């Protein structure tokens, strides 16, 4: 089962108001803007992994124009800064089921935790985010995404 299938089922099982938008493939913020999305409504999800076994993955939802601060993420997760790494796209796809460039803030494995940047939560309402496939984008309320993922809110952006 792909991440898209898991996410679609979660949205329906929890009666989350949403829309799935189909479009030309877009795997970066720039490509998403090029196919018509407003950067000011985009929530990008950046994947991190804690070194060691068992592998732990952290999916971090931030505004499209922001970057994740490793030190802040380390504080939020309780993982030492030098133990946080960005896994390669092939690992993200094989372990988590997300196509490269289509990660969303969803728990798709037992080893996944979701975090949302405090600024994103304070400034965004309806967002566009990844949902597992580069040719589909999810539109939903950030508050519903936090509830669905049991996500934590913390300062994460640089």
Distance CA 120, CA 155 (A): 9
Q: What is the tens place of the pLDDT at every residue in 127-156?
A: 999 999 999 999 999 999 999 999 999 999
Distance CA 147, CA 131 (A): 16
Q: What is the tens place of the pLDDT at every residue in 64-93?
A: 999 999 999 999 999 999 999 999 999 999
pTM of the model: 0.96
Domains of the chain are 3-66+75-152 (3.90.960.10)
Q: What is the tens place of the pLDDT at every residue in 21-56?
A: 999 999 999 999 999 999 999 999 999 999 988 889
């Amino acid at each position: 089962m792909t991440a898209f299938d898991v996410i679609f089922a979660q949205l329906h099982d929890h009666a989350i108001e949403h829309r799935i938008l189909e479009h030309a493939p877009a795997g970066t913020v720039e490509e998403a803007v090029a196919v018509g999305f407003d950067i000011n409504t985009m929530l990008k999800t950046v994947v991190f992994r804690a070194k060691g076994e068992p592998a732990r993955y952290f999916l971090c939802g931030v505004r499209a124009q922001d970057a994740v601060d490793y030190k802040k993420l380390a504080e939020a997760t309780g993982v030492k800064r030098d133990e946080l790494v960005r896994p390669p796209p092939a690992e993200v796809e094989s372990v988590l089921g997300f196509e490269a460039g289509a990660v969303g803030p969803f728990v798709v494995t037992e080893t996944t935790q979701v975090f949302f940047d405090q600024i994103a939560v304070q400034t965004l309402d309806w967002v566009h985010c990844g949902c597992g496939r580069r040719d589909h984008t999810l539109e939903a309320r950030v508050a519903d995404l936090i509830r669905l993922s049991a996500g934590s809110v913390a300062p994460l952006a640089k």
